[in-house]
Amino acid sequence: MKELVAGRLLLPAWERWASKTGIHDGDYHSDYARHADRVFRLSDALHRELGIGRGDTFAVLSANSHQYLELYHAAFLGGGVINPLNLRLAPRELQLILADSEATVIFVDDLFADHLLRAIAPVRDELVLNKVVLIGDGDHRVDFRYEDLVETGHPTPPDEPGEDDPVVLMYTGGTTGLPKGALLSQRAEVLNLYHIAMTVLLEPDRVFLHQTPMFHAAAMAGVLGIPAIGGVSVFQPLFEPGQVMDLVEEHRVDWTVVVPTMLAMILEHPDFSPERFASMRDIVYGASPMPTGLLARVQEALPQVGLWQGYGMTECSSVLTMLTDKDHRSGGARLASAGRPVLGVEVSIQDRGGNICATGEPGEVCARSANFMTGYWNRPKETEAAFRGGWYHTGDVGRFDGDGFLYLVDRANDMIITGGENVYSIEVENALSTHPAVAEVAVIGVPHPRWGEQVHAVVVPLPGAVVTAEELIEHARKSIAGYKVPKSIEFRSEPLPLSGALKPLKQELRRQYEERSGS
Amino acid sequence: MKELVAGRLLLPAWERWASKTGIHDGDYHSDYARHADRVFRLSDALHRELGIGRGDTFAVLSANSHQYLELYHAAFLGGGVINPLNLRLAPRELQLILADSEATVIFVDDLFADHLLRAIAPVRDELVLNKVVLIGDGDHRVDFRYEDLVETGHPTPPDEPGEDDPVVLMYTGGTTGLPKGALLSQRAEVLNLYHIAMTVLLEPDRVFLHQTPMFHAAAMAGVLGIPAIGGVSVFQPLFEPGQVMDLVEEHRVDWTVVVPTMLAMILEHPDFSPERFASMRDIVYGASPMPTGLLARVQEALPQVGLWQGYGMTECSSVLTMLTDKDHRSGGARLASAGRPVLGVEVSIQDRGGNICATGEPGEVCARSANFMTGYWNRPKETEAAFRGGWYHTGDVGRFDGDGFLYLVDRANDMIITGGENVYSIEVENALSTHPAVAEVAVIGVPHPRWGEQVHAVVVPLPGAVVTAEELIEHARKSIAGYKVPKSIEFRSEPLPLSGALKPLKQELRRQYEERSGS
């Protein structure tokens, strides 16, 4: 290929590893020949039965599955633009996104069919959405069934797309403000994969567990990379820590991508033992900050595992910087860093005027590279604002050290301003997370009549652990300045509320606090 | 960067590692700040003093040096197209290439200035070449001195080039037929580097020895990759095995690129000892076949070194397939393979009709990927022929095994046809190279009145070893069919004749044989 198109990475691999069993999804197992055949049929049906042409959008609302992978691959081969939907979207958000994305077709699995059908029923006339396809054999009122489409499609490889063709329309956040669709091209997806693969070696013998939700940008290394090298994909429909361990053992999984919360839930699971992870070689984590206390527990429990932290966002297909296995093993202050920009990506810290900040000075993390989105779907103004000055503005606050390691100080939105001082919530979370009784922690700013905001911590203790707010405050005081130490701490026994991408929902925590305090 | 341009890989690294000493060239040592400053000045002087604009060509005839690296980097930053010249070119070839490339400026070092000036004197009026720049302080009649240019240039970063801009004009072969200039774009060079970096990890702490001639495509990983990650570059002006060991020891070199002949010369050197290579972590070899006997000796002598074989050509910037360290360590028949296509590159074996050959069947090695040349400079017909059917035709004969490993059977030109049977010279060389007395071996076809050609071997025994033709023929017979066994063997004490890129010159061996036999 002269063109950087994702499908051309996949096709030679499917030919070369035709008879290799590369897909395990519950009772479904497939070699690459069958996978290619199904994707070709699906592409054909997408086009002829469902009317999806180049640039046309189809949505997916489904737990992780081999069908989800097939839908991505159909898009990669030139069969339209896939619009993967967050599974936690409220009905109103589903309506908004489906109206915005202009999807004419949606694929939904048994698990989410009722939810979807109820959500869209009131607005069905206003949407261009006119075909619902059911993945599975449940009893729902839909227009098509997935397996029928695959059966009737012709197994011919589709026409080759161009490298600037859009291929993924992924809505960002959804946790704050109106969700925006980041439109990602073939080229952006391919180069994002290259950037990852230049940091973490992809090798044909890899066995990958899809436990991260497949609607999330962090899933892309597995969705595009693993099948491009003839590796093995193992699917977990919805994250459940006990089942993770079963699947790792059963398929000798050696690579996965997680958010830190997942690691915490696995380590805390009563059935956890390091032996169950004996086959694991690399764990990539990202999407939300890793508390240093949790990281230390992972390193101690799984010393043989290479740890890789990725930092990025949907807008850049997924990755900007990585903290490598080697960086993790060298330890020290760098463990609190998000690593260095991967080859091919430029990162700079800028002040509000767009000037480059000096080394060590915090400012907004900005980046430019070939893996960025074409733009926000139908939002030229937001696109222009995001790329002002030729740099993508992440909204994160960060700083570089002298060796080029990036430290994320906070989300601009999660920074607490108390008595005129900036407090970065991550720093406070790190200080608390090293206490042996702490399982999960989130730090937020809550209203304070005098100081504007005060530092407040929500803590989930480890099962059986007993700890007081005073002890935790004393513990934090050892490592951070007085004005950063939480003034109040609340304890919970249930896990923290999480977004669909399993990031702690700080906005939700703030809302709950305000409700309770009647403010 | 949205654009794939080599300079944008380099600039952030030069900023990040400004105070790191990244360049060692004899008594010259430089940090990245100084290197950047010199390259910016050089770019400016190239443009303002020498009249080199975008798309204009300048030639270089020089041993490896930091100035050579600066010239590459000036081109990468958008300062014209660099045309690196093979140091072994005869005067007539130099004239032809300089006429063909339309270079208006040539940079030459002290070592090659006399040779160049003598070569171009008779044709100076016919060439557009009108400026000779001397690298060094020797006493030659030239128009400019390199250091004066660097001193007078302004240290301002040049304008950013586009990704399709040509950046390197590299002449291929020169050992057979008229040399053709492969015109390589910014994009091709960047993607070639990515393909390599997805196979062999690039890390900032690497120390690279430039012993491969810098006019050769195999030098690109060091020329672009090492300075893009803030690694350290060590230069050896001209290959000399004793000095290699000195430099490896002095600078703790951990990575280099070689042709197999260089490895043979190092292992045979009286001062060789494995301890001198203690710092070495990876050796990439390529450009000509590795005899299995030599490979075994390298693995035995340097067990800690990761071995990587790259197969490619100037036309694709350098690499199509790689045999990895892991593949080397798993041993067996695969050691005779050139490895698997790197991610991003498609390789197919095709018959003369352009049909894909079955697995195991030999045919012409064809490839397509984004790292290929724009075309041969000013040769639309040759370009079209090379890319016929959308695939680049390498002229090499190869086959795939069932696991996707590529076996190079021979150069189409080096295949011997004896009594109607195809004999691949590499196979015979491998059979002879495993004999303990053999240091170097080349197998050619020589005229035979009855069989068309007969298999003939030229052997350089190890110092002090005694062996007869009969013994070697007996040895070969154990591993290859009778018709492939050499019918005649000649012994030499001097090394085999090599091309400028240190490949054995089989054409020259055939010529010498014919001269001697009076045929």
- DSSP code string of A288-322: S---HHHHHHHHHH-TTSEEEEEE--GGGSS-SEE
Single pTM value for the model: 0.86
Put simply, the answer to whether A194 touches B17 (Cβ < 8 Å) is: no
Nearest to A2 among B17, B197, B368 (CB): B368
Best interface-test mutation with A: which of B190, B198, B205, B315 has the largest number of A CBs within 10 A?
A: B198
The answer to whether residue A144 sits within a structural domain is: yes
A323 and chain B in contact, CB less than 8 A: no
Q: What pLDDT was estimated at residue B2?
A: 80
B358 and chain A in contact, CB less than 8 A: no
Give the residue-averaged pLDDT of B363-367.
Answer: 94
Q: What pLDDT was estimated at residue A481?
A: 83
Domain boundary among A279, A306, A333: A306
Percent of chain B with pLDDT over 90: 73
Alpha-carbon distance of B357 to B378, in angstroms, equals 33
Chain A nearest C-alpha distance from B168 (Å): 18
Nearest residue of chain B to residue A163 (CA atoms) = B370
Give the residue-averaged pLDDT of B105-125.
Answer: 96
Closest CA to A161 of A28, A26, A13, A10: A10
Alpha-carbon distance of A81 to B439, in angstroms, equals 59
Instruction: Report residue B114 as tokens.
Output: 């006399």
Inter-residue contact B180 to B172 (CB < 8 Å): yes
Best interface-test mutation with A: which of B189, B193, B194 has the largest number of A CBs within 10 A?
A: B194
Query: DSSP secondary-structure letter at B356?
Result: B
Nearest residue of chain B to residue A202 (CA atoms) = B198
Give the residue-averaged pLDDT of B319-345.
Answer: 93
Give the residue-averaged pLDDT of A3-16.
Answer: 93
Closest CA to A518 of A464, A442, A446: A446
Put simply, the answer to whether A344 touches B17 (Cβ < 8 Å) is: no
B369 and chain A in contact, CB less than 8 A: yes
Residue B176 has pLDDT above 50, yes or no: no
Pairing of strands A345-350, A363-369: antiparallel
Q: Let me know how long chain A is.
A: 519
The answer to whether residue B434 sits within a structural domain is: yes
For the ranges A63-77, A282-296, A379-393, B140-154, which has the lowest average pLDDT? A282-296
Nearest to A343 among B17, B229, B344 (CB): B229
Residue with tokens 């050896």: B236
The domain tally of chain A equals 2
Inter-residue contact B190 to B162 (CB < 8 Å): no
A58 and chain B in contact, CB less than 8 A: no
Between residues B254 and A483, the one the model is more confident about: B254
Inter-residue contact B440 to B426 (CB < 8 Å): no
Amino acid at B110: D
**Residues in chain A within 8 Å Cβ distance of B17:** 404
Nearest to A1 among B8, B203, B369 (CB): B369
Chain B nearest C-alpha distance from A72 (Å): 19
Put simply, the answer to whether B9 touches A229 (Cβ < 8 Å) is: no
Nearest residue of chain A to residue B374 (CA atoms) = A2
For the ranges A244-253, B103-112, B265-274, B446-455, which has the lowest average pLDDT? B446-455
Inter-residue contact B244 to B257 (CB < 8 Å): no
Question: A35-68 burial by CB neighbour count: b if 16+ within 10 A, else e?
Answer: bbbbbbbbbbbbbebbebebebbbbbbbbbbbbb
Alpha-carbon distance of B137 to A476, in angstroms, equals 64
The answer to whether residue B492 sits within a structural domain is: yes
Instruction: Identify the band that residue B519 occupies on the pLDDT scale cut at 50, 70 and 90.
Output: low
Q: The domain spanning residue B508 has which CATH number?
A: 3.30.300.30
Q: Let me know how long chain B is.
A: 519
Best interface-test mutation with A: which of B9, B16, B195, B400 has the largest number of A CBs within 10 A?
A: B16
A4 and chain B in contact, CB less than 8 A: yes
Chain A nearest C-alpha distance from B369 (Å): 4
Q: What pLDDT was estimated at residue A177?
A: 56
B338 and chain A in contact, CB less than 8 A: no
- Give the HSE-up count for residue A176: Cα atoms under 13 Å, Cβ half-sphere: 13
**Residues in chain A within 8 Å Cβ distance of B203:** 324, 326
Alpha-carbon distance of A173 to A349, in angstroms, equals 22
Q: What pLDDT was estimated at residue A519?
A: 53
Q: What pLDDT was estimated at residue A387?
A: 95
Nearest to A202 among B16, B204, B343 (CB): B343
**Residues in chain A within 8 Å Cβ distance of B3:** 370
**Residues in chain B within 8 Å Cβ distance of A370:** 1-4
Alpha-carbon distance of B194 to B342, in angstroms, equals 10
Q: What pLDDT was estimated at residue A502?
A: 64
**Shared domain check, A280 and A159:** yes
Chain B nearest C-alpha distance from A107 (Å): 30
A401 and chain B in contact, CB less than 8 A: no
Domain boundary among A285, A306, A327: A306
Alpha-carbon distance of A342 to A309, in angstroms, equals 12
Strand spans (E) along B224-292: 232-235, 255-258, 282-286
Put simply, the answer to whether B197 touches A343 (Cβ < 8 Å) is: yes
For B500, list phi and psi in degrees, rounded to 5: -60, -30
Residue A10 has pLDDT above 70, yes or no: yes
Residue-wise pLDDT for A16-34, tens only, equals 999 999 999 999 999 999 9
Instruction: Report residue B150 as tokens.
Output: 């660097």
Paired with B399 in beta bridges are B407
A198 and chain B in contact, CB less than 8 A: yes
**Residues in chain A within 8 Å Cβ distance of B194:** 194, 198, 343-344
Chain B nearest C-alpha distance from A355 (Å): 15
Collapsing DSSP to helix, strand or coil, B155 comes out as: coil
Closest CA to B338 of B362, B317, B308: B308
Closest CA to B80 of B147, B169, B14: B169
- Give the HSE-up count for residue A135: Cα atoms under 13 Å, Cβ half-sphere: 23
A16 and chain B in contact, CB less than 8 A: yes
DSSP string, A395-435: EEEEEE-TTS-EEEEEEGGG-EEETTEEE-HHHHHHHHHTS
Instruction: Report residue A247 as tokens.
Output: 């699947």
Q: What pLDDT was estimated at residue B506?
A: 85
Q: What pLDDT was estimated at residue A426?
A: 82
Paired with B91 in beta bridges are none
With helix as H, strand as E and coil as C, how does A224-240 read?
HHHHHCCCEEEECCCCC
Inter-residue contact B347 to B359 (CB < 8 Å): no
Alpha-carbon distance of A318 to B416, in angstroms, equals 52
Inter-residue contact A472 to A480 (CB < 8 Å): no
Collapsing DSSP to helix, strand or coil, B366 comes out as: strand
Most confident option among A330-344, B50-64, B502-516:
B50-64
**Residues in chain A within 8 Å Cβ distance of B2:** 368-370, 372
Q: What angle do CA A28, A30, A35 make, to 5 degrees?
A: 120
Inter-residue contact A374 to A414 (CB < 8 Å): no
Give the residue-averaged pLDDT of B480-493.
Answer: 90
Inter-residue contact B195 to B367 (CB < 8 Å): no
Put simply, the answer to whether A194 touches B370 (Cβ < 8 Å) is: no
Percent of chain A with pLDDT over 70: 97
Closest CA to B434 of B347, B508, B324, B335: B335
Nearest residue of chain A to residue B202 (CA atoms) = A198
With helix as H, strand as E and coil as C, how does B48-112 read?
HCCCCCCCCEEEEECCCCHHHHHHHHHHHCCCCEEEECCCCCCHHHHHHHHHHHCCCEEEEEHHH
The answer to whether residue B425 sits within a structural domain is: yes
Closest CA to A6 of A87, A74, A59, A68: A74
B229 and chain A in contact, CB less than 8 A: yes
Residue B1 has pLDDT above 70, yes or no: no
Nearest residue of chain B to residue A401 (CA atoms) = B16
With helix as H, strand as E and coil as C, how does A7-70 read?
HHHHHHHHHHCCCCEEEEECCEEEEHHHHHHHHHHHHHHHHHCCCCCCCCEEEEECCCCHHHHH
Residue A175 has pLDDT above 50, yes or no: no
Best interface-test mutation with B: which of A198, A322, A349 has the largest number of B CBs within 10 A?
A: A198
Nearest residue of chain B to residue A348 (CA atoms) = B12
Q: What share of chain A is helix, strand, coil (3-state, %, to 5)?
A: 35, 25, 40
* Residue A487: Cβ within 10 Å count: 15
Alpha-carbon distance of A119 to A117, in angstroms, equals 5
Instruction: Identify the band that residue A174 occupies on the pLDDT scale cut at 50, 70 and 90.
Output: very low
Mean pLDDT for all residues in chain A: 91
Instruction: Identify the band that residue B412 occupies on the pLDDT scale cut at 50, 70 and 90.
Output: low
The answer to whether residue B450 sits within a structural domain is: yes
Chain A nearest C-alpha distance from B123 (Å): 39
Residue-wise pLDDT for A252-281, tens only, equals 999 999 988 889 889 999 999 999 999 999
Residue A90 belongs to domain spanning: 6-306
Closest CA to A226 of A247, A202, A248: A202
Residue with tokens 């195809």: B422
Paired with B438 in beta bridges are B461
The answer to whether residue A465 sits within a structural domain is: yes
Chain centroid to CA B364: how far?
Answer: 21
Put simply, the answer to whether B16 touches A369 (Cβ < 8 Å) is: no
Nearest to A346 among B1, B203, B372 (CB): B1
Residue-wise pLDDT for B276-321, tens only, equals 999 999 999 986 667 788 899 999 999 999 999 999 999 999 999 9
Collapsing DSSP to helix, strand or coil, B92 comes out as: helix
Q: What pLDDT was estimated at residue B496?
A: 86
Nearest to B1 among A4, A340, A370 (CB): A370
Nearest residue of chain B to residue A326 (CA atoms) = B203
Q: What angle do CA A172, A178, A182 make, to 5 degrees?
A: 30
**Residues in chain B within 8 Å Cβ distance of A199:** 201
Inter-residue contact A134 to A140 (CB < 8 Å): yes
Burial of B472 (0-12, 13-18, 19+ CB in 10 A): buried
Residue A120 has pLDDT above 90, yes or no: yes
Alpha-carbon distance of B349 to B409, in angstroms, equals 12
H or E stretch at B201: none
Domain boundary among A263, A284, A306: A306
Residue B175 has pLDDT above 50, yes or no: no
Collapsing DSSP to helix, strand or coil, B19 comes out as: coil
Cβ contacts of A463 within 8 Å, gap of 6 or more:
A268, A439
Give the residue-averaged pLDDT of B341-348.
Answer: 95
Cβ contacts of B414 within 8 Å, gap of 6 or more:
B425, B426, B444, B506
**Residues in chain A within 8 Å Cβ distance of B8:** 346
Alpha-carbon distance of B20 to B362, in angstroms, equals 49
Inter-residue contact B106 to B132 (CB < 8 Å): yes
Give the residue-averaged pLDDT of A323-343.
Answer: 92
Instruction: Identify the band that residue B174 occupies on the pLDDT scale cut at 50, 70 and 90.
Output: very low
The answer to whether residue A357 sits within a structural domain is: no
A8 and chain B in contact, CB less than 8 A: yes
Nearest to A201 among B17, B201, B230 (CB): B201
The answer to whether residue A509 sits within a structural domain is: yes
* Residue B382: Cβ within 10 Å count: 14
Instruction: Quote ipTM for the complex.
Output: 0.84
Instruction: Identify the band that residue A176 occupies on the pLDDT scale cut at 50, 70 and 90.
Output: very low
